Chains A and B, each alone.
Chain A
């Protein structure tokens, strides 16, 4: 158990809909990362937050947004969903948000868009 929790575990929705994925980092970790793993793809970095502020951005679509709240949990919002958004979405956390630090990953949320 990494100490990172993600809810829900599974999500099935329809095209055009909007969903929210939630992540609680390990106790004491200030930084949260979001990744997408599509079929046959590696982990694609989406976005990173550190202590409530956006720190780094990857290839995150404009239809996607995220935020980190004062209690340090984070939410990833996916809107106008398309079939291609079906993927595993991982959240990870680290202490100070440096890439040399170990990132602790949650178990992921599996999103299926029908």
Chain B
């Protein structure tokens, strides 16, 4: 049972355009969401996060939107750059009382073409 789903395994965009990566979740108890980026042969690195009490968080070229009623979040990258080419993982936290853990999606491979 996959609680965090990234239905698009890959996405290709042109440099300078917007990249939109999507993530759906099933567990309404998730209260914190994060995006991680992963380059080949490296571990994932944190990109941006959002609490369930917000619907938008922005950091430079990266914006995450949360639609709780639809159990959907998205990551917007504007403008996209070739260096953004990587695998992007959506993650959500569940649990309480010190036993919280992150649940990751399978990732979306973003390719930004020059």
Report A's interface with B, CB cutoff 8 A: 2, 4, 33, 35, 40-45, 48, 55-56, 58, 90, 92, 97-100, 102-108
Chain B residues with Cβ below 8 Å from A56 are 95, 98-101
A56 vs B93: C-alpha distance when bound (angstroms): 12
Chain B residues with Cβ below 8 Å from A103 are 46, 102
Number of interface residues, chain B, beta carbon within 8 A: 26
Closest partner residue, chain A, to B106 (CB atom): A42
Chain B residues with Cβ below 8 Å from A48 are 101
Nearest 7 pairs between A and B by C-beta? A105-B43, A99-B93, A43-B104, A42-B106, A42-B104, A99-B100, A102-B46
Contact present for A100 and B93 (CB under 8 Å):
yes
B59 within 8 A of A: no
Closest partner residue, chain A, to B102 (CB atom): A99
**Which of A2, A4, A45, A55 meets B102, CB within 8 Å?**
A45
Chain B residues with Cβ below 8 Å from A44 are 104
Closest partner residue, chain A, to B2 (CB atom): A42
B53 within 8 A of A: no
